[in-house]
Amino acid sequence: MSNTGAQHFLASSNPLNRDEAKQEFASAIDASARADFAASVKHGMTKQLNVTPQQQASALLAKARKIALKRKYADAEYLLRQALELDDRNRLIYAALGEVLEMMNKPEKAILAHIDALRLDPSNSKSLSYIGSYLMRLNQDEEAINYLDTAVKIDPDNATALVRLIYLRRRNCDWTELAWRDKKEQLSKQTSIAIDPFALLSLDDDPALQKKASQKVAALHNTSHEEVEFERPRAEGRKTRIGYFSNDFFDHATMFLMGRQLELHDRSRFEIYVYDYGSVNTQDGRQRAEDAADVYRQVADKQNDEIAAIARQDGLDIAIDLKGYTKGNRVNIFNSRMAPVQVTYLGYPGTTGVGQMDYMVADPVTVPERYRRHYSEKILYMPDCYQPNDDRRVASPDRPSRTEVGLPEDAFVFCSFNSAYKVSPDEFDIWMKLLKLVPGSVLWFLATREEAKTNILKEAKKRGVAEEQIVFAGFADRADHLARLPLADVFLDTFNYNAHTTASEALWSGVPVISKPGKQFAARVAASLLHTVSLEELAVSTPQQYQALALKLARDPEYLADVKARVKQGIETGPLYDTERFTRNFEALMEKTLERFNAGLKPDHISLT
């Protein structure tokens, strides 16, 4: 007897005659089917009475979705496959199964489920969006764009497909996005739709829209109704326990920035726990994190509630999220409170919208008081810059010449090493004007995709700039990148989503960064870095000032030399690369959050001054 048959058998049995039902069950189901039946009992599938198979399937779908949000993917897959046995014409079940299989790292099976969903309704915008999103994660941009473009054409109100379509095109420097500005007001009103917060960052400098998107996504993924109480005071008679949660413990920008901070924590006062839910790897970044931690836990195979339980058992005082809405995040773990104090930090330049997230680490430049309302967390103000930096970073000793990287030896070199998706026509228009106004100048542009190179050259030609004035830089590991950076004269920043790690690396290499701060956190990071090295004059207010400053640096060698000298001095004597000082300030802020908790006070904005 199949498991489906068992469900119908129990649904038709008389629950009042327990002995008879037990005897019929024993004779109806052979031993090989009992494991499946036990699973059905576990999930409450035997409680369906007097309903159609289609209704049972819908109930299983609803339960599977809830379980999947807790990352119990195997259980969710089981329920969805049982639902398909009951109703194999339900597109929603196939779509949900596809999403679950993606999360289980079974891409070949996932795409088949999404395609099955699309076959049942070829004009369904959501199915097209799912397939496009899946291909996007596999970096199959061209195919993904085709699916997402079709999804938007079928349903212009499919905000998720629209945002992802624009983001993908931006990765290839394809700026076919004129509809975006017209859509902004509409999207901001679509409170029923969860739009990717990360994809939004580079599309518009709108912290209010960012907060709305983050809160919607956070609510959608919040399955915790657990009220957790922690005794007060915490950490009395022992060291304060800080836990860092991420899947970026490898050779990643997060570890490049904060690896030294982990090592410098005061072990007489703090115990450092690392919860790594990323893939096991042998990279230096992971080894550095493991060596720096008092306790290192590899929890990639754990479900969210298991990780939360482990963290509470470890007795954390402060739980710190390093991911926000970046790739592979598990920010929804923080809905199941793991510590009296929960903090988001570094990995994502925006609010999480998570109700249980108490604080966000920032500084007076990235989140001025007038913009606090756009963050669901209270702000922990670092006195200098929120960004940690490694005072022991080193460049490769093999420093290339300009000729070796394809640059003219006597050119004035403007550079952009931001990821391509951050670049928009707004900045590019100015960059091309600069190339025409500064004879013999070039733009050294980071591009790793052939499509991006083709599109950039096409856009340059539209603006009257010759191909030879664009020099493409490919990927380089960190040490080699630091070695080549001094070949540039000026770093040109992007607007909506600034250079972050890239900007601090440019300054460390002695290259001035010109930026135009906006309103959202992501648009104010470079200004914060410049403030910290006492070069606020390089953070200007308008596009016109941005162009004028770049032109002055290119035309006035004495001014450029003076600025470069001050960049060097700011790095050597200022706080940006004083990792010891940064770590002590960070620890002081963490202690203040715990003091508030111990005093029975709610979270509030905190600074050290």
Q: Which of 66-70, 210-214, 262-266 has the lowest mean pLDDT?
A: 66-70
**Pair (477, 506) in one structural domain:** yes
In a domain, 166, yes or no: yes
Please tell me the predicted confidence (pLDDT) of residue 36: 53
* Cα gap 285→282, rounded to integer Å: 8
CATH of the domain at 244: 3.40.50.11380
CA–CA distance from 494 to each of 343, 430, 514, 539 (Å)?
28, 11, 9, 12
Do 362 and 450 lie in one domain? The reply is no
Q: What is the pLDDT of residue 179?
A: 59
Mean pLDDT over 163-169 rounds to 92
Rounded alpha-carbon distances, angstroms, from residue 510 to 491, 506, 553: 10, 6, 14
Tell whether the model's pLDDT for residue 311 goes beyond 90: yes
Domain boundary among 175, 192, 221: 175
pLDDT over 50 at 5, yes or no:
no
Q: What is the pLDDT of residues 507-522, one digit of tens each?
A: 999 999 999 999 999 9
Q: How confident is the model at residue 28 (pLDDT cuts 50, 70, 90)?
A: very low
Among 135, 199, 138, which Cα is nearest to 164's? 199
Residues 499 and 356 grouped into a single domain: no
One-letter identity of residue 363: D
Does residue 7 belong to any structural domain of this protein?
Answer: yes
**Closest of 308, 251, 253 to residue 275, by C-alpha:** 308
The verdict on 375 and 422 lying in the same domain is no
Is 340 within a domain? yes
One domain, residues 259 and 320: yes
The answer to whether residue 222 sits within a structural domain is no
**Least confident among 159-173, 249-263, 522-536:** 159-173
Confidence class for position 45, pLDDT limits 50, 70, 90? low
pLDDT category of residue 592 using cuts at 50, 70 and 90: very high
* 487 DSSP 8-state letter: G
Q: Which residue range forms the structural domain that includes residue 377?
A: 240-391+586-607
* Three-state DSSP class for residue 5: helix
**In the numeric block, which tokens belong to residue 331?**
């920010």
* Residue 63 confidence (pLDDT): 95
Q: Is the pLDDT of residue 41 over 80?
A: no
- What confidence tier does 566 reach under pLDDT thresholds 50, 70, 90? very high
Task: Sheet with 240-246: list strands edge to edge.
Answer: 295-298, 270-276, 240-246, 318-321, 341-344, 359-362, 378-381, 606-607
End residue of a domain, out of 120, 140, 175: 175
User: Considering the domain boundaries, does residue 537 fall inside one?
Assistant: yes
Domain-terminating residue out of 175, 194, 228:
175
Pairing of strands 318-321, 240-246: parallel
pLDDT in the model for residue 32: 45
CATH number at residue 527: 3.40.50.2000
Report yes or no: 45 and 3 within 8 Å, Cβ to Cβ. Answer: no
Which positions ≥6 away from 261 have C-beta within 8 Å? 388, 579, 582, 583, 586
Q: 23-36 burial string, b = 16+ CB within 10 Å, else e?
A: eebeeebeeeeeeb
The answer as to whether 245 is a domain residue is yes
Q: Tally the domains of the chain.
A: 3
Contacts of 344 (CB under 8 A, 6+ apart): 320, 321, 324, 331, 334, 352, 354, 357, 359, 360, 361, 377
DSSP conformation class of 295: E
Please tell me what DSSP assigns to residue 366: T
CB-CB neighbours of 5 under 10 Å: 13
Beta strands in 195-269 (DSSP E): 240-246
Does any domain span residue 563? yes
Residues 325 and 465 in one domain: no
Task: Give tens-digit pLDDT for 204-240.
Answer: 999 999 999 999 999 888 867 678 999 999 988 899 9
**Same-domain status, 379 and 423:** no
- Whether 291 and 340 share a structural domain: yes
- pLDDT band of residue 303 (cuts 50, 70, 90) is confident
We report the CATH number of the domain holding residue 141 as 1.25.40.10
Nearest Cα neighbor of 217 from 105, 350, 415, 397 is 350
> Are residues 339 and 424 located together in one domain of the fold?
no
Distances 344 to 50, 196, 212, 347 between C-alpha atoms, Å? 48, 18, 17, 8
- Cβ neighbours of residue 509 closer than 8 Å, sequence gap 6 or more: 395, 482, 485, 486
Task: Identify the pLDDT of residue 18.
Answer: 41
For residues 370 and 383, is the Cβ–Cβ distance under 8 A? Answer: no
Tell me the CB-side half-sphere exposure of residue 404, using CA atoms within 13 A. 8
40 within some domain: yes
CA–CA distance, 93 with 276 (Å, rounded to integer):
32
Distance separating the N- and C-terminal Cα atoms of the chain: 72
| Percent above pLDDT 90 for the chain | 78
Question: Is residue 353 located within the same domain as residue 478?
Answer: no
Question: Could you give the dihedral angle defined by the CA atoms of residues 434, 466, 460 and 486, in that order, rounded to the nearest 10 degrees?
Answer: -50
Pair (387, 407) in one structural domain: no
- Return the pLDDT at 371: 98
Which pLDDT does position 338 carry in this prediction? Answer: 97
pLDDT of 297 over the 50 cut? yes
Q: Which of 154-158, 349-353, 503-507, 597-601 has the lowest mean pLDDT?
A: 154-158
pLDDT: is 110 or 454 the higher one?
Answer: 454
